[in-house]
């Protein structure tokens, strides 16, 4: 983790911008710069931000403050993004970040599918910084932005029919049936997901839940190498969303780990149903690479989703995961 102060400088720079642009596209910069800092590339953070600046919008205006008595009426109201960020900023100024996270995680978890799962991913990156050093104001503010974005984009998924699944995460993902109509963006496609395979539904032990979540992240990351061509950007989230949940578990009490697994599976499986191709392809990496070399390639490419998938692939740490990261570089348009 960066100890130079560059990450905190970058987060302060980014907190003048909103979490979205054009009313629907996510600001990925806070997540990407955290990944850069986490993998020893802090010296590249500001240069990368300079190139990403055209994708940033000004911080939005508020409507009215969210309070402890009326937060339910503001949940899922995208006009209230600034109000929600302000609410969590006040909460984190008065209480420990772990207490705030523990209170709000079960409230927000059912709605992690809004914002194309980006809010929970942003929270996962913020929590990783706080687990490394929970004393800096920019990192607490980053958590406030992530939680506020999640609350404003809160969207649950209900009435999903349980479909036959499989024992392993990889096999269960293979049983996901792609939706028939593949037009439209994430919200439209999510509304067409009516059923998902059952996987890990009988898990009740928190430590087994963590084990299964680790298995899911590995399987979804591996699968990108053979299925990422279905939609090179959106299929990244089948791996990065559950990994954000996995990263957050150490900051949460164990009684929240089982529902976290279930929500993460729903997210990964739903993204798979919405974007995965009908036919996989064989992918052979162009040689052998170390994790450091793969991350350097991702940085040179520059695309924010490539950086984030590579970050998750390095968490998984095996050759198949590194192959998935290299596949994302091949499939995606470079930022630079």
Same domain assignment for residues 33 and 46? yes
Same domain assignment for residues 138 and 251? no
Token pair for 234: 């959106």
DSSP string, 101-151: HHHHHHHHGGGBTGGGGHHHHHHHHHHHHHHH-TT-HHHHHHHHHHHHHHH
Q: How far apart are CA 252 and CA 210, in angstroms?
A: 12
What is the 8-class DSSP label of residue 159?
-
Residue 165's φ and ψ, nearest 5 degrees, are: -120, -140
Can you give the pLDDT at residue 3? 55
pLDDT in tens, 308-335: 999 999 999 999 999 999 999 999 999 9
Token pair for 228: 């990422």
Residue 1 lies in a domain: no
Same domain assignment for residues 276 and 259? yes
* Of the candidates 38, 16, 59, 5, the residue with the CA atom closest to the CA atom of residue 295: 38
Can you give the pLDDT at residue 286? 87
Q: Structural domain tally of the chain?
A: 2
Same domain assignment for residues 240 and 264? yes
Q: How far apart are CA 196 and CA 31, in angstroms?
A: 29
179: helix, strand or coil: coil
Domain that holds residue 86: 6-152
* Of the candidates 250, 226, 265, 244, the residue with the CA atom closest to the CA atom of residue 312: 244
Model confidence pTM above 0.85: yes
Report angle CA 128, 295, 6 to the nearest 5 degrees: 50
DSSP string, 12-70: HHHTTB-SEETTTEE--HHHHHHHHHHTT-GGGHHHHHHHHGGG--BPPPPSS---TTT
Same domain assignment for residues 144 and 164? no
Residues of the chain with pLDDT under 50: none
Same domain assignment for residues 313 and 173? yes
Residues 81/148, Cβ–Cβ less than 8 Å: yes
Same domain assignment for residues 172 and 147? no
Same domain assignment for residues 148 and 161? no
Strands 161-163, 195-197: pairing kind:
parallel
Residues 82/61, Cβ–Cβ less than 8 Å: yes
């Amino acid at each position: 983790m960066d100890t130079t102060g560059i990450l905190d400088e970058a987060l302060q720079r980014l907190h003048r911008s909103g979490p979205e642009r054009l009313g629907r596209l996510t600001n990925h910069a806070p997540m990407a710069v955290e990944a850069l800092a986490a993998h020893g590339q802090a010296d590249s953070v500001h240069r990368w931000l300079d190139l990403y600046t055209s994708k940033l919008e000004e911080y939005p205006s508020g409507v009215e403050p969210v309070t402890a008595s009326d937060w339910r009426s503001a949940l899922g109201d995208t006009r209230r993004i600034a109000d929600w960020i302000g609410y969590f900023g006040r909460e984190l100024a008065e209480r420990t970040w772990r207490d705030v996270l523990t209170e709000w995680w079960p409230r927000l978890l059912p709605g992690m599918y809004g914002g194309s799962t980006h809010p929970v991913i942003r929270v996962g990156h913020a929590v990783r910084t706080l687990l490394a050093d929970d004393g800096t104001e920019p990192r607490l503010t980053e958590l406030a932005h992530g939680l506020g974005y999640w609350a404003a984009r809160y969207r649950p998924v209900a009435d999903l029919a349980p479909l036959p699944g499989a024992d392993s995460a990889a096999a269960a993902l293979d049983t996901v049936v792609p939706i028939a109509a593949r037009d439209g963006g994430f919200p439209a496609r999510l509304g067409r997901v009516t059923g998902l395979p059952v996987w890990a539904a009988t898990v009740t032990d928190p430590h087994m839940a963590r084990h299964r979540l680790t298995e899911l992240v590995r399987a979804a990351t591996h699968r990108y190498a053979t299925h990422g061509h279905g939609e090179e950007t959106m299929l990244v989230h089948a791996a990065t969303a559950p990994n954000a949940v996995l990263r957050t578990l150490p900051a949460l009490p164990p009684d929240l780990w089982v529902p976290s697994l279930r929500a993460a599976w729903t997210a990964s499986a739903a993204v798979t149903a919405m974007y995965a191709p009908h036919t996989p392809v064989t992918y052979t990496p162009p040689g052998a690479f170390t994790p450091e070399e793969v991350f350097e390639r991702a940085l040179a490419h520059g695309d924010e989703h490539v950086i984030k998938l590579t970050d998750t692939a390095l968490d998984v740490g095996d050759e198949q995961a590194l192959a998935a990261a290299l596949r994302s570089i091949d499939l995606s348009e470079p930022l630079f």
